[in-house]
Amino acid sequence: MDKYGLIGYPLGHSFSISYFNQKFADENIDAEYVNFEIPSIDQLQEILDTTPELCGLNVTIPYKEKVIPFLDSVTPEAQAIGAVNVIRVTHEGRKVKLKGYNSDVIGFTQSIEPMIDKKWHHKALVLGTGGASKAITYGLKSLGIEPVYVSRYQRPGTIQYEQITPEIVKEYNVIVNCTPVGMYPHVDECPLLPYEAMDSHTILYDLIYNPDETLFMKKGKEHGADVKNGLEMLLLQAFASWEMWHGK
């Protein structure tokens, strides 16, 4: 039986495990998807050694960047992003080869593109600076939108939340939340932004999908913003993962 899995730490509720095992059951595919909760990326080798039937992995926080040195090859796109969230595992005799991909960018761009109006949307605020936000900025650039990172801390090339004025929100009217702020069970939290400056030309995209509507989305919606959560992105990523594991 082929095996696929997810590496990360900690792994609580995982979209991938339920999605793929349901897919395998529905399509009579002789395979299983398992969660590999590893406190250190160094344990990846142990997974490879003890799971000879492994065909592919998804990678989640905090290992999207840390996994790259363990791979034999990385696609140019994942290299440019600097983060990997899909690994294709192939067996050449006794050798195991690992190839890294990034499906975040595909899932995100396909999901947000219908919301974008080239007349109004030219600049974006990307909340957070982790592995996911790198894919998001890459995706935004590919759609012709100029992104800026927003961080809680003073970092080169970022702006801080307290510096975001109503004028900035009007100019950077695509806002993507790549942080866990507002995720269940902390549903009463949201990024600190001047929501009152938002209007019908504002897009709020939240990578969180639990709850369905985060406070970030709710507050934007109250001022007419167009909002979307990350569930569609996850589905599109899952389709892309399967293609990456089985493509040429």
Which residues are registered as beta bridge partners of 123?
Answer: 146
123 is catalytic: no
Cα 189 to Cα 192: distance, rounded to the nearest angstrom: 9
Q: Which stretches does DSSP call E strand in the chain?
A: 2-8, 31-37, 54-59, 73-74, 86-92, 95-101, 123-127, 146-151, 158-160, 174-177, 203-206, 226-228
Q: Would you tell me the crossing angle of helices 15-26 and 231-246 to the nearest 10 degrees?
A: 60
Query: What are the φ/ψ torsions at residue 206 (nearest 5 degrees)?
Result: -110, 125
Long-range contacts, stretch 16-19, CB < 8 angstroms, 24+ apart: 16/58, 16/238, 16/241, 19/234, 19/235, 19/238
Question: What is the residue-wise DSSP string for 197-225?
Answer: G--TT-EEEES--SSSS-HHHHHHHTTT-
CB-based contact 74:100 (threshold 8 Å): yes
Tokens of 27: 């399509």
- Out of 3, 23, 64, 248, pick the active-site residue: 64
Residues forming the active site: 64
